[in-house]
């Protein structure tokens, strides 16, 4: 009998008591048997730790770790990944609900890819379907062209399974690019990614969720200087991508970064607009928008940092 590879599920928790039991039940109830569940709690102050201790006492595959200080969820995932031992690694959020066949199907489907991800179904706080999946708002990508991730991400952290080989190419998570986007980008530089069309997670949307892919209103006041912030964010993201030491299509990325630098120093960015236009099929592949909407998005990049600073 062929031994199943060990799969490490890295679960990060922080004040997740309201939804945690439902998620833990689906993690320890996976039909794939060779699993270790690495849980790192980031200094929770509610009943999260009590719940985790209860499950750890009943499920020996659950290994519980406590942070001495709050790291934030991105750095907490970095720590959790460093504690895994499995040949394959999956990430889990505290507030979702997994299909109990999720790991089995992903292990069977990963093949030669260094990373595999899947579709997910959005639900509200009470697990009521929102009748929408991630593929309704993003185009999914399979392959090894990392350029498609320069402006957008379609890979949700809870949906990924990756080979340990990928860890050796990680340069640490940064404050600019969210961890799942960074992992997908790196995976396309050093290997290929694939996806399963099945929705294997109920992706809960609520006020305290770390990500807001549906861009639901959370009652937040509109930020001033939003245009400036967008330009700064795009510049910082492009800088991080261009600096990655194992880049493929490196000349392309360096040119994009130079154009972003020019935008930061000028009133207009005609060169950037033209570059994006001629490469729109690649750069805007993930955006699930019409050709007209994509064209409008590109045109808006014409405003330089100095112009936005003067006129907002």
Q: Which of 97, 107, 301 is nearest to 206 (CA)?
A: 97
Q: CA 288, CA 293: separation in Å to the nearest integer?
A: 9
> Residue 203: beta bridge partners?
122
Q: Give every CB contact of residue 186 below 8 A, 6+ residues apart in sequence.
A: 146, 166, 169, 170, 244, 246
Is the predicted pLDDT of residue 119 greater than 90, yes or no?
yes
Is the predicted pLDDT of residue 224 greater than 60, yes or no?
no
Q: What is the pLDDT of residue 223?
A: 53
Rounded to an integer, the average pLDDT of 132-139 is: 97
Rounded to an integer, the average pLDDT of 170-198 is: 96
Is the predicted pLDDT of residue 143 greater than 90, yes or no?
yes
Give 209's pLDDT tier (boundaries 50, 70, 90). Answer: low
DSSP 36: E
Is the predicted pLDDT of residue 225 greater than 80, yes or no?
no
Angle at Cα 9 formed by Cα 43 and Cα 186, nearest 5°? Answer: 95
pLDDT digits (tens, 9 = 90+) for 295-306: 999 999 999 999
pLDDT digits (tens, 9 = 90+) for 21-55: 999 999 999 999 999 999 999 999 999 999 999 99
> Residue 284: beta bridge partners?
none
Q: What is the pLDDT of residue 218?
A: 35
**Tokens 């949700």 sit on residue:** 156
Q: Which part of the chain is CATH 3.90.550.10?
A: 7-204
Q: CA 13, CA 93: separation in Å to the nearest integer?
A: 7
Q: CB of 41 within 8 A of CB of 62?
A: no
Higher pLDDT, residue 227 or 83: 83
Q: CB of 234 within 8 A of CB of 300?
A: no
Q: What is the pLDDT of residue 54?
A: 98
pLDDT digits (tens, 9 = 90+) for 53-100: 999 999 999 999 999 999 999 999 999 999 999 999 999 999 999 999
Give 217's pLDDT tier (boundaries 50, 70, 90). Answer: very low
167 three-state secondary structure = helix
Q: Which of 8, 7, 34, 39 is nearest to 23 (CA)?
A: 39
Q: Which of 21, 203, 27, 13 is nearest to 125 (CA)?
A: 203
Is the predicted pLDDT of residue 220 greater than 50, yes or no?
no
Q: What is the pLDDT of residue 222?
A: 46
Rounded to an integer, the average pLDDT of 224-239 is: 91
Strands (E), 134-192: 161-163
Rounded to an integer, the average pLDDT of 244-260 is: 98
Q: What is the pLDDT of residue 127?
A: 87
Average pLDDT score, the chain: 94
Name the architecture of domain 7-204.
Answer: Alpha-Beta Complex (3.90)
Is the predicted pLDDT of residue 215 greater than 80, yes or no?
no
Largest interatomic CA distance in the chain: 69
Rounded to an integer, the average pLDDT of 167-193 is: 96
Percentage of residues of the chain with pLDDT beyond 90: 90
User: What is the pTM for the complete model shown?
Assistant: 0.93
Rounded to an integer, the average pLDDT of 240-268 is: 98
Q: What is the pLDDT of residue 227?
A: 87
């Amino acid at each position: 009998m062929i031994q199943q590879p060990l799969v490490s599920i890295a679960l990060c928790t922080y004040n997740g008591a309201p939804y945690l039991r439902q998620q833990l039940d689906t993690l320890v109830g996976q039909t794939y048997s060779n699993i270790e569940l690495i849980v790192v709690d980031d200094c929770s102050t509610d009943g999260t730790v009590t719940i985790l201790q209860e499950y750890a006492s009943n499920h020996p595959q659950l290994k519980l770790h406590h942070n001495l200080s709050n790291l934030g969820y991105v750095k907490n995932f970095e720590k959790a990944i460093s504690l895994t031992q499995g040949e394959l690694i999956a990430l889990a959020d505290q507030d979702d609900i997994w299909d109990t066949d999720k790991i089995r199907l992903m292990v069977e489907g990963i093949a030669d890819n260094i990373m595999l991800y899947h579709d997910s179904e959005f639900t509200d706080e009470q697990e009521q379907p929102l009748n929408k999946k991630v593929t309704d708002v993003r185009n999914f990508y399979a392959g090894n062209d990392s350029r498609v991730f320069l402006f957008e991400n379609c890979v949700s952290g809870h949906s990924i399974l990756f080979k340990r080989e990928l860890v050796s190419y990680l340069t640490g998570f940064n404050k600019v690019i969210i961890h799942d986007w960074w992992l997908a980008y790196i995976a396309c530089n050093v290997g290929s990614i694939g996806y399963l069309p099945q929705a294997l997670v109920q992706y809960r949307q609520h006020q305290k969720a770390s990500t807001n892919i549906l861009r639901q209103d959370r009652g937040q006041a509109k930020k001033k200087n939003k245009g400036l912030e967008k330009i700064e964010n795009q510049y910082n993201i492009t800088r991080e991508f261009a600096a990655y030491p194992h880049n493929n299509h490196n000349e392309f990325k360096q040119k994009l970064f130079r154009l972003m630098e020019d935008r930061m120093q000028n009133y207009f960015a005609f060169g950037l607009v033209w570059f994006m236009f001629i490469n729109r099929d690649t750069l805007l592949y993930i955006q699930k928008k019409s050709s007209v909407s994509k064209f409008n998005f590109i045109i808006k990049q014409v405003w330089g940092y100095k112009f936005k600073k003067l006129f907002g």
